[in-house]
């Protein structure tokens, strides 16, 4: 037969259990706010450095002439395409982005091919025109200016401007349109080469 425990012993046991339980640490709000402010300052610094790098690159490319504008009478459209403009680079160097004259700004784009060239209309960004005499061809690719897409998901138009050869990347809303553009621009390049040989 078990004898009941003494009331004083029960109190001592309860006191021991209470001593083992620790209260939760109080949040140190000053330290937490300090970390958040520090993180925001680092993000602001990185953004500022990126912006300065962009401006510096534009300064280095200051020798690039102003972009041609579409003629008043561009001619009958042969092909048109709606999609995105992903940027321009030095031809053959898909990471050497060109930012001068707004060529570095990604945007929506409407392309129209006529006998006189390719008109690039960009809502919210600077429009430009690639004269037919400056077209050097087109190809399907997967990346330009740091943007990587599926294999063949990018239409890259190569053209001459000033003393530079430029690759400009476009992606149609309907990727099935890309091969027709490659073929049409190859024909334009052949016509240009034949005229130059005369």
50-105 per-position pLDDT tens digit? 776 656 655 666 678 888 888 888 889 999 999 999 999 999 888 888 988 889 88
| pLDDT at residue 2 in the model | 52
| pLDDT at residue 129 in the model | 95
Rg (CA), the chain: 32
Distance of CA 154 to the CA centre of its chain: 13
| pLDDT at residue 114 in the model | 94
- Looking up tokens 């990185």 gives 46
pLDDT for 172 beyond 90:
yes
Integer Cα distance of 135 and 174 in angstroms: 23
Measuring CA to CA, which residue among 68, 190, 180 is closest to residue 119? 68
* Antiparallel, parallel or unpaired: β 117-121 and 128-131: antiparallel
For residue 155, what are the contacts with CB-CB under 8 A and spacing of at least 6?
81, 138, 140, 169, 170, 171, 172, 178, 181, 182
Cβ-based burial of 137 (10 A; exposed 0-12, middle 13-18, buried ≥19): middle
| pLDDT at residue 5 in the model | 55
The encoded tokens of residue 160 equal 């001459």
Distance of CA 10 to the CA centre of its chain: 72
Cβ-based burial of 84 (10 A; exposed 0-12, middle 13-18, buried ≥19): middle
Query: pTM higher than 0.85, yes or no?
Result: no
For residue 35, what are the contacts with CB-CB under 8 A and spacing of at least 6?
none
- Looking at residue 162, what DSSP letter applies? T
pLDDT for 118 beyond 70:
yes
pLDDT for 158 beyond 90:
yes
Instruction: Band the pLDDT of 194: cuts 50, 70, 90.
Output: low
Integer Cα distance of 69 and 64 in angstroms: 15
């Amino acid at each position: 037969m078990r004898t009941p425990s003494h009331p004083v012993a029960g109190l001592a046991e309860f006191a021991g259990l209470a001593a083992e339980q620790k209260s939760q640490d109080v949040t140190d709000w000053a330290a937490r706010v300090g970390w958040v402010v520090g993180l925001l300052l680092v993000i602001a610094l990185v953004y500022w450095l990126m912006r300065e790098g962009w401006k510096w690159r534009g300064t280095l490319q200051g020798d690039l002439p102003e972009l041609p504008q579409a003629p008043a009478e561009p001619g009958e459209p042969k092909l048109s395409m709606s999609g995105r403009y992903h940027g321009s680079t030095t031809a053959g160097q898909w990471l050497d982005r060109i930012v001068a004259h707004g060529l570095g700004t990604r945007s929506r784009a409407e392309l129209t091919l006529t006998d006189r060239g390719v008109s690039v209309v960009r809502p919210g960004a600077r429009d430009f025109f690639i004269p037919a005499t400056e077209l050097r061809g087109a190809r399907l690719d997967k990346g330009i200016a740091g943007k990587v897409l599926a294999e063949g998901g990018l239409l890259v138009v190569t053209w001459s401007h000033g003393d530079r050869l430029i690759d400009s990347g476009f992606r149609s809303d309907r990727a099935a349109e890309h091969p027709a553009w490659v073929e049409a621009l190859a024909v334009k390049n052949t016509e240009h080469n034949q005229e130059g040989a005369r």
